[in-house]
Amino acid sequence: MILTPDNEYSAVLDTCVLAPMPLCDTLLRCAEEPALYRAYWSEETLIELRRVLLKIGLTEEQANRRITMMQIAYPEAVISIPAGFLAAMPSLPDPSDRHVVAGAILAKADVIVTGNLRDFPKDLLEPYHLLVHSPDEFLLHQYHLNPWAMLEKLDNQASAIGQSRTKIIEKFEVATPLFAKALRMRESM
């Protein structure tokens, strides 16, 4: 369940950050109570996520279960985009990403978290007071705001899958190298 964090910071999560399980798990755990931020996504994101999960080898049952669990755990996260609203969105390099921007505007989000930064030019998002961050930038930002809370989230994630925090950090080496580096530095202290 998403509860409003004290800082009111909110993010729209793009499909590409929800598909890889370790990254998705971390992002969603950060939105759990005590929440570091509020997570949002559009209905279209969930449809796209299902297609991606099937494409990367999950069964229909696995993909449906994962999305259903997200909807149950984060019912406030789903943004419904009214008919016609997409047509008013700015022209993006990939027009199929307009639902992400529309969701961010409707949610009054602060940032879009995506691995496809080039598809969300900053100059097009600026009029809507939206930032765009890679998952690396976003997680690093959350870590610097509250390192102890982030470490607790990672410890809970590790415990849930029977691994150590170090193993979780190793999973971040490629997708979020700056975040992983900051965590490794903390581990070595």
Query: How does pLDDT run across 112-147, given as a tens digit for each residue?
Result: 999 999 999 999 999 999 999 999 999 999 999 999
Element (H, E) at 186: helix 177-187
The whole-chain average pLDDT of the chain stands at: 93
Which is it for the CA torsion 33, 36, 42, 48, positive or negative?
negative
How far apart CA 152 and CA 163 sit, in angstroms, is: 14
Strands 131-133 and 38-42 turn out to be: unpaired
Classify the phi-psi angles of 150: left when phi > 0, otherwise alpha if psi is within -120 to 50, otherwise beta: alpha
Q: Which residue shows structure tokens 């879009």?
A: 112
Predicted pLDDT of residue 158 = 96
Predicted pLDDT of residue 88 = 84
Which token pair is 76?
A: 């406030």
Q: Which residue shows structure tokens 């809970």?
A: 156
pLDDT category at 7 given cuts 50, 70, 90 is low
Residue 3: pLDDT over 70: no
Predicted pLDDT of residue 4 = 43
Q: What confidence tens digit (pLDDT) does each residue in 23-51 have?
A: 999 999 999 999 999 999 999 999 999 99
User: What is the pTM assigned to this prediction?
Assistant: 0.93
